Every structure is written in structure tokens, then in C-alpha cells.
Amino acid sequence: GAQAVGMGKEALNVRAAAELFDKANDILGYDLLNLCIDGPKEKLNSTVISQPAIYVTSLAAVEVLRAREEGQSVINSVDVTCGLSLGEYTALAFAGAFSFEDGLKLVKLRGEAMQDASDAANSAMVSVIGLDSEKVQQLCDAANEDVDEKERVQIANFLCPGNYAVSGGVKGIEAVEAKAKSFKARMTVRLAVAGAFHTSFMQPAVSRLESALAATEIRSPRIPVISNVDAQPHSDPDTIKKILAQQVTSPVQWETTVTTLLGRGLEKSYELGPGKVIAGIIKRINKGASIENIGA
């Protein structure tokens, strides 16, 4: 949901960043930069488009950083990386686990497979703001008592204290929204995504992803990449393939990822790509954390 019309504009000023969009056009068969800059919003929000758009814009942001004075030395100094949901692919590409092109082909297929899985069932996602994870779980339990099994909801993104995303059937999500106030939630925000990502609703996407991953050359990352599934780094290419296939149906353990990094002495970080959601999350977990956003 980090996509926004106007993203990618900075890439026009940095040749290496603009070249990534040119390469993307050949792989995708449409003008991605044009869609990023001019929209329309409805098209950019479809997961088939937004996933390649965020992946390419985020790696273009790396090139924007590289073009800065001292930018290359900042990139050289990075000793760990991670990405939220789709961002895990960006992080793996940054860490050299696969090429830009191979990553984009995977992300294109991931978007298509997740869109098809979303089209097959009436599902959605909502952010619950102002509660701890235990309370959000209780809210999900209460909502699930009111709906059929196929409409059930679960926590899909553990983002930070006070911000957890819930995924499930539309009726279940509506029940969460209706009950949130009685659980003392500050508010709920529907997410601009196609369906119930990071739940069993995405199961139809898994086998397609597994086949594509099996045919992709993946190398050991040059620096640790923390996985969304278990908040651990993995260096074995086969394990990375397995984890990426599991990722679409597994909750995102982002809060654990960030607290682990901060606990291990993370001093300075950069959020690369559109929006400033990750910077906001890290500041929520640790007010004093140093993070700089670099968009493209």
C-alpha cells in the first residue's frame, strides 16, 4: 500500500535510476514510469501494477542514494537489510541474492498470482490503530464469532505497537471495523490492497510462486536479509526460495524484525522507496532511532 501517484519522479534526474525503469518496461510490456508518475490511482493500486511499481521505485531510490555525494560509501557501509512484505524482494535484490531482472519477473508473477487469489474470494485488509497485539487478537476472535469460517480474520502484519493489519473475508473485516471502537481502538483504516494478503486466502498463489522460484537463480546474499516469516536471516538459496513461497500466506513479523535489529545495536538506517511508513514504524518502536527516507 506504499504506492502513490507521483512516485518515480526523482528517477528522471538520475540516469542509473531511469535505466531501471527502461529495463522494467521491456520485462513488463508497459510504461511503468508513466503509470507511477501520472497514474491513474486506481490502476496503480491494483496489486499487479503496484508490486512491480514499488519494487522498481525502491531500487531506483538506491541509485538516487548512490548518485549523492558519499552515497556509494553509505551503500558500502550497509551491513543488514530487510523489507516489508514485497520489500523483502527489494532487500534480496539489493543484497545480490538475485538480479534486478529476475527479481522483477518474480514480483510480476507474485502480483498476478496474488491478484488471481484475491479475485477468487471476497477478502480485504484493515489496519487497527491504537491497540496492542493481544487486544487486536481478541478483536479478531470476537469478529470471528460473528462470521462463517470462510470469512474469518487474523493478524497479517505485526507492524509496531498500536498498528497491526488484519486480513480476512470482507464480512470478517467489516465485523472488525464495527467492533473496534468497543475494544478502544483509536481507528481502523482499510488498506488499498486487492485482498487478504498474508493469510490462507493467498494459498492459490503459492504453487505458482514455488514454480517460478524453482526456475530462478538465487545466490547467498552478501549481507544478511531478515525474513518476514520468522524475523531471521537466511543465507541458503533453497531456504530463501521456501521462505518466499511461504511469505504470501504467513503473517509479517515486522515488529520482531525491528526490535531485534535495534536490540543488536542498529545505529542508522535508510528507508528506500515510496512513502515513509517504515520510518514511522521504527520511530514508534524507538523514538530515538535514526532513519532517513530516500524516495525516487
Answer for the pair 212, 105: CB distance below 8 angstroms, yes or no: yes
Separation of alpha carbons 263 and 167, rounded Å: 29
Model pTM?
0.95
**Greatest extent of the chain over all pairs of C-alpha atoms, in Å:** 57
Q: Please write the tens of the pLDDT for every residue from 71-80.
A: 999 999 999 9
The domain defined by 9-118+202-294 folds into Malonyl-Coenzyme A Acyl Carrier Protein; domain 2 (3.40.366)
> What pLDDT band is residue 68 in, cutting at 50, 70 and 90?
very high
One-letter identity of residue 42: E
- Of 3.30.70.250, 3.40.605.10, 3.40.50.170, 3.40.50.10090, which CATH number belongs to 122-195? 3.30.70.250
Residue 100 in this model has a pLDDT that exceeds 90: yes
Residue 192 in this model has a pLDDT that exceeds 90: no
**Which amino acids are annotated catalytic?**
85, 198
Domain boundaries, the chain: 9-118+202-294, 122-195
Separation of alpha carbons 206 and 208, rounded Å: 5
Q: Do domains 9-118+202-294 and 122-195 have the same CATH topology?
A: no
Taking the CA atoms of 34, 39, 43 and 45 in sequence, report the sign of the dihedral they define.
positive
> What pLDDT band is residue 1 in, cutting at 50, 70 and 90?
confident
Residue 117 in this model has a pLDDT that exceeds 90: yes
